[in-house]
Amino acid sequence: MKLPVSVLFLSLALCVSSAAFGQSSDNDGCTNATVDGDYAFRVSGWVVLGGVTVDREGVAMTHFDGAGNLTQVDFVMSNGAPLPGPSDPVTGFHIAETGTYKVNSDCTGTAEIHLPKPPNATSGAVINLMLVIGDQGRTIHTIVSRLFPPGSPTPAVVSIHSDAEKLGMGE
């Protein structure tokens, strides 16, 4: 028996929406406290700035306080050159990066990172992340959902992701 195309599409839509609902109502027991401590991130991707696609590669050390706040240092290369910004004179890592995060019970979440304001800009860059937590809080996988360049009210076109491991788990 051949089903009408509309019935097939309706069946597919119901399957997809019920699968999505199943995850959103899932309670894996995650909270902001699941992400607590220092995490080493590897960052990779690209951003379009002024009509030009710019590669981004970097590393970051992010401290999550278990209550929804974060601090971070990073070192990011942009098309083969280090990004400018306030940095530690000893390590060379960018400093003064702060933000917030929210973890949902299904171990998904969001974060927002605020970078320092560069000279002659009205604000620093703001990075919005979507994240998932794995291995009982030992790993974090993120994707940038929006990136506002310094002083810009409009997000840039971006495709950047990162993966992290929690420090100190072997102790």
More confident residue, 22 or 131: 131
Instruction: Note the pLDDT tens digit of each residue in 87-146.
Output: 999 999 999 999 999 999 999 999 999 999 988 889 999 999 999 999 999 999 999 999
The residues spanned by each domain of the chain are 29-166
- The answer to whether the CB of 123 falls within 8 A of the CB of 150 is yes
How is domain 29-166 classified at the CATH fold level? Lipocalin (2.40.128)
Q: Which residue has the tokens 């995650």?
A: 30
Confidence at residue 111, expressed as pLDDT on a 0 to 100 scale: 98
Compute the distance between CA of residue 66 and CA of residue 149 in angstroms, rounded to an integer: 28
Residue 93 CA to residue 74 CA, distance in Å, equals 5
Does pTM surpass 0.75?
A: yes
- At 95, the amino acid letter reads I
Distance CA 92, CA 74 (A): 9
User: Quick count: other Cβ atoms within 10 Å of Cβ 12?
Assistant: 10
Contact 113, 130 (CB under 8 A): no
Of the pLDDT bands very low, low, confident and very high (cuts 50, 70, 90), residue 2 is low
Q: Nearest 5 degrees, angle CA 46-CA 50-CA 54?
A: 20
Q: CA–CA separation, 165 vs 72, rounded Å? A: 14
Q: Which of 38, 42, 72, 69 is nearest to 56 (CA)?
A: 42
Lowest mean pLDDT among 6-10, 111-115, 127-131, 162-166: 6-10
